[in-house]
Chains A and B, each alone.
Chain A
Amino acid sequence: MTRRAALLAAVAVPLSACSAGTTGSEAAPADPDRLVRELAAEAERVMISRYRATAEAHPDLEAELAAFIARHERHLDAMLATIAPTADEPGTEPGASEVTPDDVPVSRADAITALREAETEHAAARIDDSVTSYDYELARVLASVAACESAHEYLLGEIA
């Protein structure tokens, strides 16, 4: 099966590189998608904080944004699920780049536009990540997340 062969090939090179460069003690197989997984998870955290900050700054949007936040929380869970549980390092912890209500535009329409722009940017980044992922299932998850965010961009336009 091509998939298995490709995955084995992906771990073979880093493993041999490790044994040549280190003491040869047990090294975890390198994950070439590690950075993509962590950055995507971090991007979801920032997105959730952006929605929460927007709902706080514009309480009249709170009810409508709840479903968007719930979907982003599922994206975050999906990204965290692809990060190996043993790889519990600082990279998987919440980052500092949270959005606060002070960052949200005062005008309701501008606040929605800011969310739309963030979704568009996000979707494009996840598509790029999906195209370059080594892990095929990660590619599927990233493509699905990007698809939901493209739909969000449309749905936010209906609110405005």
Chain B
Amino acid sequence: MSALDALQAALAGEHACIYGYGVVGGNLPDEQVDAAREALQTHRSRRTPLAEQIRLRNGEPVAAFPAYELPFPVEDAGSARELAALLEQRLATIYADVVALSNLGGVRRLATTALAESAQLTARWTGDITAMPGIDPAPQPL
């Protein structure tokens, strides 16, 4: 895997997260909707810098799919939080790859920061965290 592949995987993951948080937000109680909206904003804001890095490496940024198949039915707050946590954990693994494949400080900072944000959001949605986010096995891919 090259840095370009890892960046493309991260962008594809962000697209999936943005779709996923739309579903998540619609199933959370009012007091948690703001947290989901904030997370959604975080994921949206990462697309542009990722696309820039991909273009710098002569890649064409991957596009979002019009829709995604959910790994399990999301119809209440519990399954919504579970989906959000799953998305964050998957994304953490991808960003850990970006860290380990990029030798440019700027890309590494983007990826380490994103990994930290994903871990913090995982803690928010599950109330727990693994010792090595992005390295400890994540739940299966979507």
**Chain B residues with Cβ under 8 A from A66's Cβ?**
none
The contact size tier of chain B is 20 to 34
Is A151 touching B129 in the complex (CB atoms < 8 A)? yes
CB distance from A139 to the nearest CB of B (A): 5
Q: How many chain-A residues does the 8 Å CB contact rule pick out?
A: 33
B103: CB under 8 A from chain A? yes
Selected from A3, A74, A132, the residue in CB contact (under 8 A) with B132 is A74
Q: Is the CB of B120 within 8 A of A153?
A: yes
In this assembly, does A140 line the interface, its C-beta being within 8 Å of a C-beta of chain B?
A: yes
Q: How far is the CB of A87 from chain B (nearest CB, A)?
A: 22
For chain B, what secondary structure do more than half of its interface residues adopt (helix, strand, loop), or is it mixed? helix
Task: Digitize A115-136: 1 where CB-to-B-CB distance is under 8 Å, 0 elsewhere.
Answer: 0000000010001001110001
- Closest B residue, CB atoms, query A67: B128
- Contact residues of B with A, CB < 8 Å? 2-3, 92, 95-97, 99-101, 103, 105, 108-109, 111-113, 115-120, 122-124, 127-135
A147 touches B131 (CB 8 A): no
A144-B96, A148-B133 known; A158 vs B127 contact (CB < 8 Å)? yes
Query: With contacts A144-B133, A147-B119, A148-B119 known, is A127 near B127, CB below 8 A?
Result: no
A123 touches B116 (CB 8 A): yes
Give 16 pairs: A residue, B residue, CB < 8 Å, sorted on A: A2-B2, A2-B3, A71-B131, A75-B132, A130-B99, A130-B108, A131-B112, A139-B99, A140-B100, A143-B99, A147-B119, A147-B133, A149-B116, A151-B119, A155-B123, A155-B127
